[in-house]
A and B are shown apart, each in its own frame.
Chain A
Amino acid sequence: MELLRFTTAGSVDDGKSTLIGRLLLDSKAILEDQWEAVERASRQRGDAYLDLALLTDGLRAEREQGITIDVAYRFFATARRKFIIADTPGHIQYTRNMVTGASTAELAIVLIDARHGVVTQSKRHGFLAALLQIPHVLVAVNKMDLVDFSQTAFQSIVAEYQAFASKLTVQDITYIPISALHGDNVVDKSVAMPWYDGPTLLHHLENVKTGSSRNLVDFRFPVQMAVRPHQNFRGFAGQVLSGTLTPGEEVVVLPSGKTSRVRTLTTLDGDLAEVAAGDAVVLTLEDEIDISRGDMIVRRNNLPQSASQFECILCWLSEKPLDVQGSYILQHTTRQLRAFVAELNYRIDVDTLHREAATTLQLNDIGRVRLTTTQPLFYDPYQINRATGSFILIDPFTNATVAAGMIRRRAQELDELVGSEPERSRSSNVVWESSALTRAMREERNRHKGGILWFTGLSGSGKSTVARLLERRLFAAGVQTFSLDGDNVRHGLNGDLGFSAADRKENIRRVAEVAKLALEHGHLVLCTFISPFAADRAFARSLTPAGRFFEIYVKCTLEVLKRRDPKGLYARALRGEIPEFTGVSSPYEEPVAAELVVETDVCSTEEIVEAIWEELLRRGILSF
């Protein structure tokens, strides 16, 4: 017999309690004395009907106020399966309770009232189920009796929910039309809905594939404690969170990195030939290695990720809001360590799924956050491994559990780790106005990163030609581009500047600042400027986060340039008509460490654009 843990979400109005009562009653999990107790309590409250919520709402405050406060656990079994229901209330502290119930569930029942169709709450349930990576969602369209068991009504609800669910990453959604009150399609097939030929709700619960959220590939064994009853035995107790292991396999202990081989998998029933995800065991090794609680034993050729900074989704569970300046205790597997918020990226509106700028997270808020821990964490992304991708945050003063976290991935690059706020010599009294929407948020939506492509080179070398073709290609691929060209800025923004060394410097300074603003708005900025002085280019680079500035030296020999001379400028400069013309009467300091050097007198524009494109892919700016 297998075990299926599922969660039910919804309010009393959706008929959730009626459905649970029906399942419990029909599977004989409610017995006569409980039934009598409900009858007694219903009579006392003067209700004309039996309120099945009284079966689950055990607390005095719940009964008095007629609301469900906390997650209630209910149990029933059929000949095929044992079920644990985490029944989450619909109104109060909704997100907190649903997240709690969903964290251990393999299936979520989302109840929809057939009369009202898909409402905000139905979407909220679906979103949270997807967020917590519940493998199976069962959408039960209830109260079909009140819409005359209409197939059209059912189908339109299914169509509407499907459209919504296509935006979520849910592996499996099943739709079943039911009437919990009358029992249609709950345990027995409905005679009133002959048009429906799918499974009944209970049949689906009994047959849905279990264990699909278990990871049987990546062996992860966080040590709970060392077991050392006498000199001759030294074992490490824990639960296999994922993967499998057999004696003789080579393992690594994290964080020490020491390796050994598995000697035994010890239990009271004798040593085992293999352990798998979920098993509690005591593991002994061939070598004497210092191992204690919080260490993780893994296979040598399959290591988890390790980082002290990572991206995660936080569900805030406390009345006391997130303190972005504060520190928390992070509990992950069997470890506790200190954690700080490096950046609060955004809050997700659970009803609209929109991302919003946020300065804190309140009770029931869900947000994307980058956390820093004092020591590296050994984890897998939650999507791959629920057990090693999840954590809780604990308030170090009250010891309350304040947040549930799901790790998405390691924080990606250094530039995301350090603040990009520039140091300024002048205007130091001006407060840097950080946009409430962060670059990371914009980049997330753009599906590419921001960056500055700084094309430098002699006049006529082909900077603009290359940039224009590249920009067209970027535009076609949906990339947010922004173009700054030497000629066009000098018409307006820099119309007051000439070509003296000082003015050139100021010209580049202004352009670099504008480029930076555009970068912060998530754009890929193409700057085409002769920018002959290494110091000016270095200044532009200094404003830009590491890894986001690409100096592209567009190279072409002076001989070729003089021959090309499309604007006739070289001819005029050589005649002495243009003072301080770069390459003729003013120096050009060749880049010594450009990210890319392209030679327009050797390669075609198309080839050069291709080379730049490849480089952007390689550096992770673009990812197609």
Chain B
Amino acid sequence: MNTVNYLRPYLRQLEAEAIYILREVVAQTERPILLFSGGKDSILLVHLARRAFYPGRIPFPLLHIDTGHNFPETLAFRDRLVEQVGVQLLVRSVQDSIDQGRVVEEKGPTASRNALQTVTLLDALAEFKADAAIGGARRDEEKARAKERFFSHRDRFGQWDPKNQRPELWSLYNGRKHQGEHFRVFPISNWTEMDVWQYMREKQVELPELYFTHLRAVFERDGMLLAESPYIGHLPGEEVRRQQVRFRTIGDMTCTGAVVSTAATIDDVIAEITVSRFTERGTRADDKRTETAMEDRKRQGYF
């Protein structure tokens, strides 16, 4: 007889925890939605959702808040994934919010639509009457996220009150809410960047090519390598050059920095992260605005 090892490898534990939470969302809320950015964490969520409801289909749609500043590779990958998995995709764009006068666009070469997304997101959640928005935020990413709950309560205005969060004990998730309120749910809270990559390797999950080395026109700003794109202007002295780079996170082209890298496979990426001296959000200009930039945006209803 086989000796069964009852100690599950930690990835299985993380996977089971995420699956449990995804099912709890569906069981405890009426209209959940999965916030899909096109980054690896939201791709992982889609992958986990497939497992959670197999052999059934994913019982909620994906919502993509399109800033209009996406990498074209992100959009192409998104559409392919949606078709493969057979899940409904909803897209709402920041451009529409601007055109409707809901938000005013930032001006100048450092302008970003990152903050504007929040309005489009909250409008979309209201439009679809979503009472739970599943997101791929992880606690290791940023210190405000280190105190985030799995089931994170949002008031009627979509706001987060970090000082008054519901305690979460054992694996009991309280999904009760009043009319008009909603939850942000973070099934992969306990995963680290390394865990995500290890899992992707183990399960052979396909990822956008942006995560692997490629030749790209980039320029340097505030110590970051930004991709040359129609959405971003140049400050004096910023020179465009072509380099072998890859992205550790994928957001808008305006605020996501590339790293110089030759990593062509998941194994290469893992090797690279292992010796890296910087965190992945170190490549994000949006977090660097102030010390509590993430908390401030989260309070307002950001992802």
Interface, chain A (partner B; CB < 8 A): 1-3, 31-34, 37, 40-41, 44, 55-61, 63, 69-75, 77, 81-82, 84, 96-97, 99-100, 103-104, 210-211, 214, 216, 224-225, 227-229, 233, 235, 237-239, 244, 266-268, 274, 276-280, 282, 293, 317, 329, 331-332, 334, 386-387, 390-392, 394, 399-401, 404
Contact = CB atoms under 8 A, between A and B. Distances in A.
B8 A392 contact: no
Most A Cβ at <10 Å: residue of B14, B20, B26: B20
13 contacts: A3-B14, A31-B279, A69-B162, A73-B139, A73-B147, A77-B192, A100-B167, A224-B27, A237-B23, A266-B54, A280-B19, A334-B27, A399-B176
B174 interface: yes
Contact of A229 (B56, B142, B146, B177): B56
A394 B176 contact: yes
Contact of B57 (A229, A266, A276): A229
A2 B7 CA distance: 7
Given A103-B170, A276-B6, A280-B20, A41 B295 contact: no
B95 to A, nearest CB: 32
A282 B9 contact: no
A32 B278 contact: yes
B139 A57 contact: no
B143 A31 contact: no
A61 B161 CA distance: 11
A33 B190 contact: no
B107 interface: no
Given A58-B147, A74-B146, A75-B140, A268 B54 contact: yes
A279 B170 contact: no
A1 B168 contact: no
B176 A329 contact: yes
Contacts of B27: 224-225, 293, 334
A278 B13 contact: yes
Contacts of B120: none
A96 B142 contact: no
Interface secondary structure of B, over-half rule: loop
A84 B140 CA distance: 10
Contacts of A401: 166-169, 174
Contacts of B289: none
Interface stretch (B45-53, B108-116, B128-136): B45-53
Nearest to A329: B176
B84 interface: no
B91 interface: no
B55 interface: yes
Nearest to A72: B146
B169 A63 contact: no
Contact of B8 (A70, A227, A279, A394): A279
Contacts of A282: 54-55
Contacts of A227: 53-56
Contacts of B194: 77
Given A58-B146, A227-B55, A401-B167, A31 B4 contact: no
A440 B207 CA distance: 62
Given A31-B279, A278-B16, A57 B166 contact: no
B147 A59 contact: yes
B178 to A, nearest CB: 7
Contacts, number: 180
A390 B174 contact: no
Nearest to A35: B277
Interface centre among B9, B56, B162, B279 (most CB of A within 10 A): B56
B100 interface: no
Interface in B84-130: none
A359 to B, nearest CB: 24
Given A61-B162, A75-B192, A229-B57, 7 more contacts: A61-B163, A69-B162, A99-B167, A227-B53, A233-B55, A239-B20, A278-B16
Contact of B170 (A37, A104, A229): A104
Tell which of A63, A224, A329 has the most Cβ of chain B within 10 Å.
A224
A48 B147 CA distance: 27
A34 to B, nearest CB: 6
B166 to A, nearest CB: 5
A74 B145 CA distance: 11
A58 B8 contact: no
Residue of B145, B147, B165 ringed by the most chain A CB atoms within 10 A = B147
Contacts of B9: 1-2
A274 B4 CA distance: 9
Contact of A58 (B51, B142, B167): B142
B6 A214 contact: yes
A75 B192 CA distance: 7
Nearest to B18: A280
A554 B270 CA distance: 84
A211 B190 contact: no
Given A31-B277, A58-B142, A99 B169 contact: yes
B10 A75 contact: no
A404 B174 CA distance: 12
B204 to A, nearest CB: 12
Interface of B: 4, 6-10, 12-16, 19-20, 23-24, 26-27, 50-57, 139-140, 142-147, 162-163, 165-172, 174, 176-178, 189-190, 192, 194-195, 276-279, 282, 291-292, 295-296
B190 A75 contact: yes
B292 A279 contact: no
A385 to B, nearest CB: 11
Given A32-B278, A227-B56, A401-B174, A69 B169 contact: no
Contact of B20 (A59, A70, A224, A244): A224
B6 A69 contact: no
B10 A3 contact: yes
B53 to A, nearest CB: 6
Nearest to A84: B190
B55 A229 contact: yes
A229 B277 CA distance: 47
B85 to A, nearest CB: 12
A9 to B, nearest CB: 15
Nearest to B4: A274
Contact of A96 (B12, B167, B292): B167
B16 A390 contact: no
A25 to B, nearest CB: 12
Contacts of B14: 3
A280 B10 contact: no
6 residue pairs, one from A and one from B, having the closest CB atoms: A58-B143, A3-B10, A229-B56, A399-B176, A280-B19, A103-B169
Contact of A59 (B24, B50, B176, B295): B295
Contacts of B169: 99-100, 103-104, 390, 392, 401, 404
B255 to A, nearest CB: 16
B6 A33 contact: no
Given A58-B142, A280-B15, A280-B52, A225 B278 contact: no
Nearest to B291: A41
Contact of A224 (B24, B177, B277, B291): B24
Contact of A75 (B56, B139, B292): B139
B279 A33 contact: yes
- The interface centre, meaning the residue of B10, B16, B169, B177 with most chain A CB atoms within 10 A of its CB, is B169
A268 B57 contact: no
Nearest to B50: A268
A103 B173 CA distance: 13
A604 B52 CA distance: 71
A570 to B, nearest CB: 70
A279 B20 CA distance: 9
Given A267-B54, A404-B167, A56 B10 contact: no
B16 A239 contact: yes
B11 to A, nearest CB: 8
A70 B24 contact: no
B168 A100 contact: yes
Interface centre among A37, A44, A82, A282 (most CB of B within 10 A): A82
B52 A55 contact: no
Nearest to A279: B16
